[in-house]
Amino acid sequence: MSDIRDDLKRRAELIRRDMGGAGRVETLRAEGKPTIREHIDGLLDEGSFRELGTFSRSLRVEDRTSTPGDGKIGGEGLVQGRPIAVAGDDITVKRGSSSIVGSRKTSRLYQRALEMGIPYIYFGETGGGRIPDLIGSEGISEALPSPDIAARRRKIPMATIIVGQSFGGSSFQSAFSDYTVQVRGSVLAVTSPRVFEIATGEIIGFEELGGVDVHAKLTGQIDLGVDTYEEAYDSVRRWLSYLPSNAWSVAPRGEAMARGRWDRDESLAALVPEARRRGYDMRKFCAALLDPDSFFELQPKFARNLTTGLGRLDGWPVAVIANNPMFSAGVLNPDACDKAIRMMCLADAFNLPLIWLMDVPGFMVGRKVEHERMLFKAIRMVEALCNLSTPSLSVVLRKGFGLAYQAMNTSGMGAVGFYAWPGAEIGFMDPDVGVNVAYASRLEELDGDDRERERQHLIEEVGEATSPYEAAGTMRIDEVIDPADTRRILAEDLGRLATRKIPRPEDRPLSYWPTC
């Protein structure tokens, strides 16, 4: 028996040390690139990784001795003491390409994660599907597009870290994920530039095709772009810290607010200019409202007119959706709608209360956004909001106009607590614009100073109707609150909501919504 045990140990150590070849491992290290096992160790708590599928290899007879792991490595371990499943592409074995046994391994790891109710994290760096393994009908019939993951309904948190050139399988994995972080220098795309050139004649560089800046700013297909591997590991650990391990459980509460944090905070009002058209950075407001250093912004460079993120208030984990007047006056456009829906789906699936901070002049208008399907995106956002099962709290800080007022979650749209600051303006449209539209013919009859006096009179008249006290008078606003009391009121509501019964995952419609 000792000989058998020694042989087992020798085999495992050789596979884990040399992987697809000692020379390839050394080449990676010389280039400053970790192996997949080093990536996994960088994410997990020290010494906690337990590998599964160590002895898997290619089905092809000629490749059996040269494909340890068949291009995929994975297992289970701990992050901040909590169990997770983890897998990734091993580029020392045929560039981490996807084939039959490797795909079976990642599918098996995901199935185990689902049964255990633990998060699933993937490191993406694959050259795509392996040729010739998948070239024929038999091979492509085995290469299923992760049906288990496609039907997962967000029962467990799933994240992808793009650490190298990712084409095909790991790119698909990122699109299924609740959180995707991409390291600068890596590439995220369906197909490589080489295939582009052969198929269409188009010539494009890796960065231009799918670099960090493309996805962080233009496509919104990642939640965060970072410069280093360590930043990527840290971001996933931080993201997980706000979430429960699965859809059946409750996210861990952090440290409750210190006594002084319950006191009135006059600084909150100072962050928001009174003039409705003056810009300010909503990200600073979120950081000031939430527990110190707890605000974790997601998609920070995409659709910057809307700010989304995770945070804590009195230790309670929350999701945040907020208009940001620093960019495009905080209007809602098609990209902002997509961004809001993504955050709603995450919050709804994992029982995170949503805090909405409203300062919105309306939906963007114009030919460009109409052609970008503004109509469909706006109504899809409203549809998502009306299917939200997790509780939400909303505050109108300065203004809410048009359909965007309702889309940012009012009492009539499902907010459990709906509050407004006393200076807020609420109505069909900006009073200045409304007067110009509604009373154009009346103003045209007047000249010079008379026209301006009448215009100002009408603006004041319309402005009085936009007072939050009007809506509060008909119980469409729960309370008009002193800005200095905002944190305390929201924190008290969160504490009361903590005793609510959590709906079953199958009773949360947004967990069924498409991931992307």
End-to-end alpha carbon distance in the chain: 52
Model confidence over 42-66: pLDDT tens digits? 999 999 999 999 999 988 888 888 8
- Output the tens digit of pLDDT for each of the chain's 516 residues: 788 999 999 999 999 999 989 999 999 999 999 999 999 999 999 999 999 999 999 888 888 888 998 899 999 999 999 999 999 999 999 888 888 888 889 999 999 999 999 999 999 999 877 877 777 776 667 666 677 888 888 999 999 999 999 998 899 999 999 999 999 999 999 988 888 878 888 888 889 999 999 999 999 999 999 999 999 999 999 999 999 999 999 999 999 988 777 788 999 999 999 888 899 999 999 999 999 999 999 999 999 999 999 999 999 999 999 999 999 999 999 999 999 999 999 999 999 999 999 999 999 999 999 999 999 999 999 999 999 999 999 999 999 999 999 999 999 999 999 999 999 999 887 766 655 555 556 656 667 766 667 667 666 666 667 889 999 999 999 999 999 999 999 999 999 999 998 888 888 889 888 876
For residue 81, give the 3-state DSSP assignment: coil
Q: Kindly provide the b/e burial profile for residues 385-423, where b requires at least 16 CB atoms within 10 angstroms of the residue's own CB.
A: bebbbbbbbbbbbbbbbbbbbebbbbbebbbbbbbbbeb
Model confidence over 241-254: pLDDT tens digits? 999 999 999 999 99
DSSP notation for 301-346: TSSTTEEEEEEEETTEEEEEEEE-TTTGGG-B-HHHHHHHHHHHHH
Of 180, 185, 184, 157, the residue nearest 170 (C-alpha): 180
Q: Which strand (E) or helix (H) includes residue 253?
A: none
Burial of 9 (0-12, 13-18, 19+ CB in 10 A): exposed
User: Given this model, what pLDDT does residue 145 score?
Assistant: 61
